[in-house]
Amino acid sequence: MKRLLLYFLLILLLAAVGTFSYGFWNGKKVREFSSKISEIQEKHNLAERIEKVETGFQENGKEEASQVKDDSQQFLAELKAIGQEAKAAKKEIEDLEAPREAESAKNLAEEYYLKLAQEADDLEGIISYTSQMVEAASFFEEIKENSSLDELKNLIGLSREKTSAIEIDSLPPALQEEAQNLKESMNSFLLRLEDMVALRSENTAEVEASYADFSQKESEFFRNAKKYIGEMENLKGIEERIKADMERLEKVKFSLR
């Protein structure tokens, strides 16, 4: 009986030692996980870069078409790089092994980089569409007082080709209908202008009405595009939550979860 009791106490002792050993070992794993997430965040600090592009785009409308085009190409290259880096950061986090104590923190960090990638993609779609519209309308700047009818026809024809090639699929769904309406309105205006320049029509009222419709739709689209950008989720709140999680986890010495 005494031997049986001793065995039982020995088993309890071993279980207790194993539990404590696991708790300290797991606590170390939690701290290591926290350190790795902090390293990933430091390496992939992307939110400020997106904000810089947003600010630049909001101010971009004050420039001439050629400058808008050049700036847009830089913005698009930067956003593509940000999107790819955000997805890479998310993959790095997905590949980390997280103790149960750190699972919610891991999920939040993944969500953060997923949202960063989505914001970069949305901005890229908006700026790409805007750049294409500006490029298609740039023929206005090329018209001179002494431009011949043939030169005008060529400029309008080139603008129509560029307008037809404008893509809307990369835009956020909330802006696609307005973008399509603007594209169609611009094409309609160019058709009427082309008819007048080719002397197929002398109805200037139709051209003016068509231009007024295009101008209105253009203003509406860009106003709503800027509103869409302004209403994008501010990710600083998630950043602060992740930071708080990491500060908490790096202090964990003992954990059974």
Give 145's pLDDT tier (boundaries 50, 70, 90). low
Predicted local distance difference test score (pLDDT) of residue 8: 44
Predicted local distance difference test score (pLDDT) of residue 62: 56
d(CA 99, CA 112): 19
Predicted local distance difference test score (pLDDT) of residue 207: 84
pLDDT at 196 over 70: yes
Whether 101 contacts 255, CB under 8 Å:
yes
Predicted local distance difference test score (pLDDT) of residue 248: 83
- 180 CA to centre of own chain: 21
* pTM for this predicted structure: 0.83
Whether 156 contacts 139, CB under 8 Å:
yes
User: Among all chains, which residue has been given the structure tokens 């909330």?
Assistant: 174
d(CA 60, CA 55): 9
User: Among all chains, which residue has been given the structure tokens 């094409």?
Assistant: 187
Residue type, 25: W
**Higher pLDDT among residues 179 and 65, named by residue:** 179
- CA-atom Rg of the chain in angstroms: 30
